[in-house]
Amino acid sequence: MRTTVGIIGAGPAGLLLARLLHNAGIESVVLESRDREYVEHRQRAGILEQGTVDVLRAAGAGARMDREGLRHDGIELRFDRKRHRVDFPALTGGRSVMVYAQTEVCKDLIALQLAEGGPLLFEAEALAVEGADSGSPRVRFRYQGREDVLECDYVVGCDGFWGVARAAVPAELTRVFERAYPFGWLGILADVPPSHDELVYARHDRGFALLSMRSPSVSRLYLQVPEGTDAEDWSDEEIWDELERRFETTDGWRLDRGTITQKSVTPMRSWVHEPMRYGRLFLAGDAAHIVPPTGAKGLNLAVGDVVTFARALTYEKETGSAELLDAYSETCLRRVWQAERFSYDMTTLLHRTPDATPFEDRLQVARLDRIAGARSAETDLAEGYTGFPLE
């Protein structure tokens, strides 16, 4: 098999890239190791930055998002049993975010790709990228019981944190930057209308909690739990009791309970792989960087990477200049590090480490008080949350 761009992975990065290339008249083939059902139902992100919303619309993939997505103009910070609302449009000159689940973004992009785009092969597992530093890189993959080779002009590794593409970058050229956190998130999906109309980020001495949503009738909630926690260690009742404690306010706010339909634990890490390009192999999304989910940045970063690649390749096709392709890694990494910084700040602002001292507890509350009391600090949070612009 032969194509212009071989894309490994059909998460949001790979699927959107295939769509952007299709719109630019550039051929691609997507290889995805899992089946369609799995990819369409993997519970993950929920928040799309304004820039991501604009990109999906411009790519012709925004119709259902515009009908069913929920525009959010703010979030609530909760600490010391008090509530503080951060008003995004007022602080950022009109920006907001959209609650529209990653599962739905993927469903929309898969439907478009199968109807209009190039090949998208499910249960096609990439085994290795070869010849990344040559003029004709290849992806070896297994499909329908046999091994095959995809010959390409470019390969984009959109295969997530556990993917294989990255391994083709020589170790001596690679630098990895990492921060692990001694806690994870226990996430649940529940059949109950969200108890608040905006997301609530709560700092509590017992740990962080987040109230989010998937629709007007489905809530998504998270609890900070110790690293290594098994979701099955928590009964449904224990989860609701703990959420209630962490969200408690002095003004009698109530958390409504419902049937829990899913629960799982996500570890938390900050992680960056540099460079994001080697020869004709480009890395995009979680294959190149991970942020802790507190800043809601992972999916949005993946979108930024593939927009940058699609623009650079289009420019090369139109002008013959590889200037933008050559700048890919640097261009992406500037934005990636801003998102790493923001996600780290949000994480350390709101989570309680197991060895936190009373001094650190007071500092966290002082940082939150500063955001609630100083427009400059609040603006910084609102700008970070609604997103850093694409260059």
Which residues are marked as active site? 72, 201, 293, 297, 385
203 is a contact residue toward ligand PHB (CB under 6 A):
no
8 touches, from ligand PHB, ligand RFL, none (C-beta below 5 to 8 Å by class): ligand RFL
Nearer to ligand RFL, 284 or 368 (CB): 284
Q: Which is nearer to ligand RFL, 162 or 359 (CB)?
A: 162
The number of beta carbons lying within 10 Å of the beta carbon of residue 310 is 24
Helix (H, G, I), strand (E, B) or coil at 386: helix
* 121 contacts ligand RFL (rule: CB under 6 A): no
For the bound state, the minimum distance from the C-beta of residue 237 to ligand RFL, rounded and expressed in Å, comes to 22
Closest CA to 282 of 4, 2, 7, 3: 7
- Measured CA to CA, the distance from residue 84 to residue 97 in angstroms comes to 18
By a kind-dependent CB cut-off of 5 to 8 A, residue 31 interacts, out of ligand PHB, ligand RFL, none, with ligand RFL
| Mask for 262-301, x = binds ligand PHB (CB under 6 A) | -------------------------------xx-x-----
CB of 221 to ligand PHB, least distance (A): 9
User: If binding is defined by CB under 6 A, does position 45 make contact with ligand PHB?
Assistant: yes
Cβ-based nearer residue to ligand PHB, 117 or 160? 160
31: contact with ligand RFL by CB under 6 A: yes
Work out how close the CB of 37 gets to ligand PHB at its nearest, in angstroms, rounded to a whole number.
20
220's contact among ligand RFL, ligand PHB, none, with CB below 5 to 8 A by partner kind, is: ligand PHB
The tokens describing 325, both together, are 């392709």
222 and 204 in contact (C-beta within 8 Å)? no
DSSP for 333-366 reads HHHHHHHHHHHHHHHHHH---TT--HHHHHHHHH
Alpha carbons 113 and 378: distance in angstroms, whole number: 40
Q: Can you spell out the DSSP letters for 137-201?
A: -EEEEEETTEEEEEE-SEEEE---TT-SGGGGS-GGG-EEEEEEEEEEEEEEEEES--SSSSEEE
Q: How many residues appear in the chain?
A: 391
Helix (H) / strand (E) element for 331: namely helix 328-350
Out of ligand PHB, ligand RFL, none, what residue 158 binds, judged by CB under 5 to 8 A for its kind, is: ligand RFL
Is residue 5 a contact point for ligand RFL (CB under 6 A)? no
Residue 98 structure tokens: 């959209």
Measured from the CB atom, the residue of 215 and 314 that comes closer to ligand PHB is 215
Strand, helix or coil at 12?
Answer: helix
Token pair for 244: 């209630």
- State the minimum distance, in angstroms, from the CB of residue 290 to ligand RFL: 7
Q: Does 46 bind ligand RFL (CB under 6 A)?
A: yes
Residues 91-120 that bind ligand RFL (CB under 6 A): 102
C-alpha–C-alpha distance, residues 73 and 43, integer Å: 23
Draw the binding track, 275-314, toward ligand RFL (x: CB under 6 A; -: no contact): ----------xx------x--xxxxx-x------------
Q: How many CB atoms lie within 10 A of CB 250?
A: 9
Residue ranges that bind ligand PHB, judged by CB under 6 A: 45-47, 199, 212, 220, 293-294, 296
Residue ranges that bind ligand RFL, judged by CB under 6 A: 8-14, 31-34, 39, 44-47, 102, 125-126, 158-160, 162-164, 185, 187, 266, 285-286, 293, 296-300, 302
